[in-house]
Structure 1
Amino acid sequence: MTTWPLPADDDKENLLLSCRYDDLDEVRDFVTKFGSDALSIVRDDNENTVLHMTCGNGHIDVLDYLLPLVSPSILSAQNSAGSTALHWAALNQHLEIAQKLVHFNGGPGIDLIDIKNAAGRSPLGEAEMIGWDEGARWLVQEMKLDEATHHDVNDSEEDTPMGTAQDTQDIEVEIQDADGEVAKMTISGGATT
């Protein structure tokens, strides 16, 4: 088994900056020198991880490199403000990054969407707060919807004639937004209104 040297504070800071500024070669050099396990323990003064820096800035190439190397638990790691990398992806409107985080095989999956930060907002709440409709719609579609949070718009089939557009299942979702207000969204055949 290879014994890796421990990174110094300067090495850790340089790694975080490399993730923030999309310097994949420097990230690779760090792994070559200190091993991939070191990636998961590096934090800045605000407890931000390599994924916070990468995802907040939308660096797909660095994220694709990091995901197979980091511990899956780092996907749900919260910084000092309680935000995860998914919160940062939502705040900065990086849909492909959000999708990669949620769909990462072996990671927390859709449970990431439910994590709330110190302000009481989930990644969905952050997306709603900044008006990122595309991201909010995607997050809602990915969420676990249980009987308490959705119902069929048409409670009785006899109210709708056969063969109409209402034969597809509509789901009305109520979600509490960042201000505590209830936002309603209808999901129908992949489209939302």
Structure 2
Amino acid sequence: MSLSTPTQEDMEELLLSCRYGDLEDIQQFVDKFGPDPLATARDDNGNTVLHMVAGNGHTDALDYLMPLLPASLLAARNNAGSTPLHWAALNSHLAVAQKLVQLPGGPGVDLIDIKNEAGRSPLGEAETVGWEEGAKWFVEVMNLDEKAKGEEELHPAEGLENVEVEIEDAEGQVARMTLGQKPTSSASESNRTT
């Protein structure tokens, strides 16, 4: 039996079903068209089926959809650069946020670091709306190891002792300073007993 191809109207109905958490309609769509179109459904703002269920806290629909979708859809961004996890955070849906982050084979805690066009991560969205429970959970599970994010540890440069620097302010005054000077002990320090 071959599956038919959904029309634009069918795709719009699917997205509405996801928005309102109508699991029966979502299942009927999959029965009729198969799971493949689920991954390509987008509204005019670039929102996916996961944006719709995550933003509205529909855990039953999320549980049904996640095994049918590629894990990469968890990091899909809408036109504002927001992922489904941004929407879950913006609307304070902890169970949904946990399912998105904890999906085996998915991006995992890296989802928490994705920034949208406004420059906010899902943690930032949670903080913006005052969702303390979600912000606390994000901090508990996120990867805080800076080295794991590819950041290098800063080390002082060697051989840069006694570098003379001149700084001119807006009024033409010049200040001179020496960088890298080793502090010398003063007479009062050397006379102290320990």
TM-score under structure 1 length normalisation: 0.74
Corresponding residue of 2:6: 7
Structure 2 gaps, min length 5:
149-194
DSSP-derived class of the 1:110 partner: helix
TM-score under structure 2 length normalisation: 0.74
Which residue identity lines up with residue 9 of structure 1 in the other structure? Q
Which residue identity lines up with residue 87 of structure 1 in the other structure? H
Corresponding residue of 2:139: 140
DSSP-derived class of the 2:64 partner: helix
Residues 106-165 of structure 1: CA deviation (Å, up to 9, x unaligned): 11111100110000000000000111111000001111011579xxxxxxxxxxxxxxxx
* CA–CA separation in structure 2 for the residues paired with 1:138 and 1:82: 22
DSSP-derived class of the 2:30 partner: helix
* CA–CA separation in structure 1 for the residues paired with 2:128 and 2:83: 16
Cα shift at 1:5: 2.4
Matched, 1:107 2:106: yes
Alignment of 1:63-142 (within 5 A): 63-142=62-141
Count of equivalent residues: 148
Cα shift at 1:7: 1.1
* CA–CA separation in structure 1 for the residues paired with 2:58 and 2:9: 22
Residues 153-180 of structure 1: CA deviation (Å, up to 9, x unaligned): xxxxxxxxxxxxxxxxxxxxxxxxxxxx
Alignment of 1:16-95 (within 5 A): 16-95=15-94
Identity of aligned pairs, percent? 64
Cα shift at 1:87: 0.2
DSSP-derived class of the 2:67 partner: coil
DSSP-derived class of the 1:67 partner: helix
Structure 1 gaps, min length 5:
150-193
Residues 51-95 of structure 1: CA deviation (Å, up to 9, x unaligned): 000010000100000000011111000000000000000000000
Cα shift at 1:6: 1.9
Larger Rg: 2
DSSP-derived class of the 2:68 partner: coil
DSSP-derived class of the 1:138 partner: helix
Which residue identity lines up with residue 84 of structure 2 in the other structure? A
Alignment of 1:173-184 (within 5 A): none
DSSP-derived class of the 2:47 partner: coil
Residues 7-61 of structure 1: CA deviation (Å, up to 9, x unaligned): 1110000000000111101000110111111100100011100000001000010
* CA–CA separation in structure 1 for the residues paired with 2:47 and 2:3: 23
* CA–CA separation in structure 2 for the residues paired with 1:48 and 1:28: 19
